[in-house]
A and B are shown apart, each in its own frame.
Chain A
Amino acid sequence: MQKKPLQNIDISKIVKSKTVYVNIFAGRIGLAQINYKYFFDSDSDLDNSLIVGCEFNRGYINGSDLGNFAPGQDFDPIGNLNAIEYIKADMAAFTVSLVDVENRAFFDKMPLTCLYYGNNGRHPKRMNNRIRMDKCYIQAFAPFNMPGTCDGNQIKYMAQFTFHYIPYVKRNR
């Protein structure tokens, strides 16, 4: 059955948003690697949901250093955890691929900078796809700098995304 396109959705009026993280930790692979796929975790809220918008948030680095962007434009629901640093200066090295429930990458190697809200005239990318989170991944094509404090055992380096979505409702028939 053909999907009916959702026209003229104003993302600011979408009530459901969720911020998720992708972990890049040295313990998994030994070293930060080019071309390696860092997968999202499965998410019960987002899986099968209709994603209508997506943003990449650079997040805080240790709760400070927002550069030219005022507080509030990026946010950090975790708080000021010294153990976590977010992809920020390296974001041009990374792309993201988003996969739908039919196992097809509807966003294929989209640069993170293109999803960065602050970078694109405040225009978030809009879409209309049911997502399968655990098949989505980020991938670097250029060398990037892991935080110097990485010791291979702890989660240190993260990419932060916010998805705007219409929840999946399972109907009883």
Chain B
Amino acid sequence: MLQPIIQNTYLVEVNLPTVTQGQNYPFLDNPNLRYPKIFLHGMESLIDVQLSKSPNQSDIVTASGAAGIVLTLSVKDTEEVFQIPYLSLCTTVNAGLIREFANKQINLTKSYITVFDVTNLVAGQSAAFNFYYKIA
């Protein structure tokens, strides 16, 4: 199966300063990915075996910790991708396949991750994503 043709990628992290069950952790504003500048056509979540530290020197979540995280992506004000499991987007556990989206014009600052299970998550760790996008 052919993979998508990637036009642009960007590594984005969401830091977990504290780990609380049920807590939402929003994405920070990013000028490169600001709404309505980009169309998201694919996404990949990262675990520690893929990237050991984030650009801000935080540890990346482990596979066992990531099992307790879900992702919500907003398009404008609507949560169009609601609570997709973090590991569903992880290529190392999905035969290398990138999860593709139908060119969603995402609103990053209204998108967030949610911790459902704090087991094996440590305060200070980061969740990291590769955004595959086209410029609008």
Contacts and interface: CB of A to CB of B under 8 A. Distances in A.
A binds B: yes
Interface of A: 5-10, 34, 52, 92-93, 95, 106-111, 113-114, 119-129, 141-142
Contacts of B1: 123
A127 B51 contact: no
Contact of B5 (A9, A34, A110): A9
Q: Which 8 A-B pairs have the closest CB atoms?
A: A121-B96, A120-B96, A142-B53, A121-B95, A109-B11, A123-B96, A113-B50, A142-B52
Contacts of B48: 92
B45 to A, nearest CB: 11
Interface in B33-80: 44, 46, 48-55, 57
Interface residues of B, number: 31
A8 B11 CA distance: 26
A141 B97 contact: no
Contacts of A5: 5
Interface of B: 1-11, 32, 44, 46, 48-55, 57, 91-92, 94-98, 130
A109 B52 contact: no
A8 B3 CA distance: 9
Contacts of B94: 121
A114 B50 contact: yes
16 contacts: A6-B5, A52-B5, A92-B50, A93-B53, A107-B9, A108-B10, A109-B11, A110-B11, A111-B51, A113-B51, A119-B50, A120-B96, A128-B6, A129-B7, A141-B52, A142-B53
Contacts of B97: 121, 123
A51 to B, nearest CB: 10
A120 B95 CA distance: 6
B49 A113 contact: yes
A121 B130 CA distance: 17
Contacts of A111: 11, 46, 50-51, 130
Contacts of A128: 5-7
A106 B9 contact: yes
Given A95-B11, A108-B8, A111-B46, A124 B55 contact: no
